[in-house]
């Protein structure tokens, strides 16, 4: 035993450390830990004692009904008010005198909409430089709200919640990282994905000959995914939607799509009260694609 005597002190020290750690752990663990799960049982009751910071969209609507109505029908309908504006309890308590955050910088929008490989392709996202080049913005610091109203970002002419259900539309980015082009030729034995020309071949073929042929179908036929199998699709005909690309503005570059002054353009070409209420597609439909083309496999006369 004498030859192991030098190890006795080591085991004694280790024993003391283990016992001390066990005692410290026992003292540090709250009494209610593990009562309902791997957390303090008293935590929920304690959390309920904290003052409320968020009030919810229904409270916002008491004073901002117009904004709430616009918000609920458009692309941000699933985004709570306080996601962008911050907690509203103090604002409500002060009856509107306490300021609320108003996100107007480009960086505020890109928190959600910056193109990232980690985001699913079905989520609306952009590469800011590419997007600005597409719509002809010359100053990279131009805020998104110069074109998009945060409460009504895409100016939908009908409620997104009542839009027509549509089979799932797959984008290359749903599976592939990077800037994979939607028109990339698929390799042999590639899994079947839904494309517009499967059901609307005549419209797609006609569209390829038109002015907007370089624009993806889903840029104007807005698609909002609701499940793995279907979503809602909107054919947006509100003039303000077209003006996202075509409205004349000081921040447009020489390479911008053809722009017009609105509504002076409509007033200038109107020949009567009826024309004064028309939208862009009523006069410029020939720049998009033909209408009334039957959908493959559907009722005759149905159209996209």
Residues 244-254: tens digit of each pLDDT? 999 999 999 98
Strand partners, 33: 40
The helix (H) or strand (E) run that includes residue 70 is helix 65-73
Q: Are 155 and 74 in contact (CB under 8 A)?
A: yes
d(CA 76, CA 107): 17
Higher pLDDT, 90 or 3: 90
d(CA 30, CA 28): 6
Three-state secondary-structure class, residue 224? strand
Higher pLDDT, 1 or 196: 196
3-state helix/strand/coil string of 134-180: HHCECCCCCCHHHCCECCECCCCCCCHHHCEEEECCCCHHHCCCCCC
Angle of CA points 96, 98, 104, to nearest 5°? 95
Higher pLDDT, 49 or 292: 49
> Residue 301's pLDDT is what?
36
Closest CA to 96 of 67, 132, 58, 60: 60
pLDDT one-digit tens code per residue, 210-220:
989 888 888 88
Give me the chain's average pLDDT, please.
85
> Residue 269's pLDDT is what?
86
Q: Are 70 and 149 in contact (CB under 8 A)?
A: yes
Mean pLDDT of 156-173: 81
Q: Are 247 and 238 in contact (CB under 8 A)?
A: no
Confidence category of residue 283, pLDDT binned at 50, 70, 90:
confident
Mean pLDDT of 24-52: 87
Mean pLDDT of 104-114: 93
Tokens of 102: 């108003």
> In the chain, where are the structural domains located?
102-184+191-287
DSSP state for residue 96 in the 8-state scheme: T
CA torsion angle 286 288 292 298 (round to 10): 170
Say yes or no to pLDDT of 184 above 90. Answer: no
3-state helix/strand/coil string of 190-222: CCCCCCHHHHCHHHHHHHCCCCCCCCCHHHHEE
Q: Are 49 and 76 in contact (CB under 8 A)?
A: no
> Residue 277's pLDDT is what?
80
Confidence category of residue 52, pLDDT binned at 50, 70, 90:
confident
Say yes or no to pLDDT of 85 above 90. Answer: yes
> Residue 300's pLDDT is what?
39
d(CA 159, CA 244): 19
Pairing of the two strands 221-225 and 164-167: unpaired
Mean pLDDT of 174-190: 70
Tokens of 100: 């609320």
Q: Are 69 and 149 in contact (CB under 8 A)?
A: no
Tokens of 208: 């390829």
Mean pLDDT of 164-170: 82
Say yes or no to pLDDT of 136 above 80. Answer: yes
Q: Are 167 and 230 in contact (CB under 8 A)?
A: yes
Strand partners, 114: 126
Confidence category of residue 179, pLDDT binned at 50, 70, 90:
low
Q: At what angle do helices 239-246 and 128-135 cross, to 10 degrees?
A: 100
pLDDT one-digit tens code per residue, 224-282:
888 878 888 888 888 999 999 999 999 999 889 999 998 888 888 888 888 888 888 88
Say yes or no to pLDDT of 170 above 90. Answer: no
> Residue 63's pLDDT is what?
93
Over pLDDT 70: what percentage of the chain? 90
| Sign of the four-CA dihedral 77, 82, 88, 89 | positive
Most confident segment among 8-22, 58-72, 208-222? 58-72
Mean pLDDT of 165-171: 80
């Amino acid at each position: 035993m004498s030859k192991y005597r030098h190890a006795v002190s080591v085991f004694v020290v280790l024993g003391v450390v283990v016992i001390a750690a066990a005692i410290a752990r026992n003292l540090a663990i709250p009494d209610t830990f593990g009562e309902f799960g791997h957390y303090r049982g008293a935590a929920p009751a304690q959390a309920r004692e904290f003052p409320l910071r968020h009030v919810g969209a229904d409270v916002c609507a008491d004073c901002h009904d117009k904004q709430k109505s616009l918000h609920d029908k458009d692309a941000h309908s699933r985004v709570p008010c306080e996601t962008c504006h911050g907690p509203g309890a103090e604002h409500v308590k002060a009856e509107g005198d306490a300021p609320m955050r108003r996100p107007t910088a480009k960086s505020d929008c890109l928190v959600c909409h910056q193109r990232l490989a980690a985001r699913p392709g079905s989520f609306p996202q952009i590469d800011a430089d590419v997007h600005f080049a597409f719509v002809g913005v010359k100053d990279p610091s131009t805020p998104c709200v110069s074109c998009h109203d945060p409460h009504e970002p895409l100016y939908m002419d009908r409620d997104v919640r009542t839009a027509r259900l549509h089979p799932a539309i797959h984008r290359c980015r749903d599976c592939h990282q990077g800037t994979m082009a939607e028109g990339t030729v698929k390799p042999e034995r590639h899994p079947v994905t839904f494309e517009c020309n499967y059901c609307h071949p005549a419209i797609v073929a006609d569209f390829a000959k038109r002015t907007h042929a370089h624009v993806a179908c889903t840029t104007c036929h807005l698609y909002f995914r609701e499940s793995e199998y279907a979503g809602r699709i909107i054919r947006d005909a509100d003039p303000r939607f077209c003006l996202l690309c075509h409205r004349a503005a000081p921040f447009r570059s020489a390479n911008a799509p053809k722009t017009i002054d609105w509504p002076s353009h409509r007033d200038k070409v109107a020949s009567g009260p009826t024309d004064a209420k028309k939208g862009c597609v009523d006069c410029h439909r020939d720049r998009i694609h033909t209408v009334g083309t039957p959908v493959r496999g559907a009722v005759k006369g149905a159209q996209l």
